[in-house]
Structures are given as C-alpha cells and as structure tokens.
Amino acid sequence: MPGRILFALALLPALGLLASFAAPALAADEKRPTSVLDFTMKNIDGADVALSQYHGKVLLIVNTASQCGLTPQYKGLEALYEKYKGQGLEVLAFPANEFGAQEPGTNEQIKEFCSTQYNVSFPVFSKIVVKGEKIHPLYSFLTSEATDPSHAGEIQWNFAKFLVDRKGEVVARFDPKTTPEAEELVKAVEKALAAK
C-alpha cells in the first residue's frame, strides 16, 4: 500500500505539468469568438461596449470615413436607423483610415463631424483597422472564411456593410456602393427584423 501511495505522489508533478499544457488550450477555445456578440469594442469616447448588449437586435455594421465620396451615406444610414430602430435595428459605425487615408481625424474630430454634418444618432465607435496586418479581431472575424465563406473576403473600401441577425450571425454583406436606401439592403433588413 505505501508503495502505491508513493507512486501516486510521484505522478502528481507530471499530472500538474499536463494540466498546465491543457489549460491554455482550453482557454484559447473558450475565447474563440463564435458571434459578433462575443466582442467588446471601444466607443467613440473610449469606453468599453460589449456587443453582447445588442443580443436580440439586428445590426448593420459599417466601416466609415469622413472624407470619402461615399461619406454622404451617413445620411442614408441615419434615415434607415430612424425608420427601423423601433423594430430593433442598430447601425454600428466603425471609422477606419485604410482606404485613401479618408479618415485621418481623431475620435473627437470624427464624433464632431458625424454630429454636426449628419446628425448621426446611431453608435459610432473608436477608429479601428479593418484590413491588413493590424486588422481588428472583429473585422478579422467578419471577413474570415472560417466564419462564413459566403460573406468572407477583405474589405474593399469605406462603407462596406455587414447585416447581423438577432442571434449575432452575419446574414448578408453589401459592397460599399450599395447605399442604405438600396432595395436589396432594405429588404434584407426587413427580413432580419421580421425573424424573432
């Protein structure tokens, strides 16, 4: 019996070592996002916003810029938001400077621009990187083949749009030139809102 106890005690350090290897693997799996709602982002004022707070809402996620030929889409995005927010639509704007350096300003300047030029009332977040080596994990998730091959591929320009259903799953992607007023986008938003 004492021999068995000594043998078990001798195994403890080895088991501890195995557990220490297994723990990081488990932690990595637990942290791997499976939904847009798994991310926490910084709002335009630098405060953390858990996207999980939008569970049950339909999201239109847009990478924006203040000095782009497509910047007037802010007006259409605001109109879309005003029309459908009562039904559960949220427009989430993520300013980015990857395309023609058309979002060079600070978060404070972007906030003022959105407010004074387009009366934006939907959430605008801190500037992020949506393409390339320093891509933000949210956009890495949105554009990944592993997330959904039908909506994958890198962002091509400002005002690319991802439509996310009430469960946090991407259900459609629209290219930058598809305006917020476009029939295909509006119909997709209405379909997502109709699903409970």
CA distance 168 to 116: 31
Annotated catalytic residue: which of 33, 35, 43, 68? 68
Q: Any idea which residue has 């598809």 for tokens?
A: 178
CA distance 171 to 188: 9
Cβ partners under 8 Å of residue 158, min gap 6: 63, 64, 65, 68, 70, 71, 96, 99, 102, 103, 176
Q: Is 68 known to be catalytic?
A: yes
Q: Take residue 48 and report the two structure tokens written for it.
A: 């953390």
Catalytically annotated residues:
68
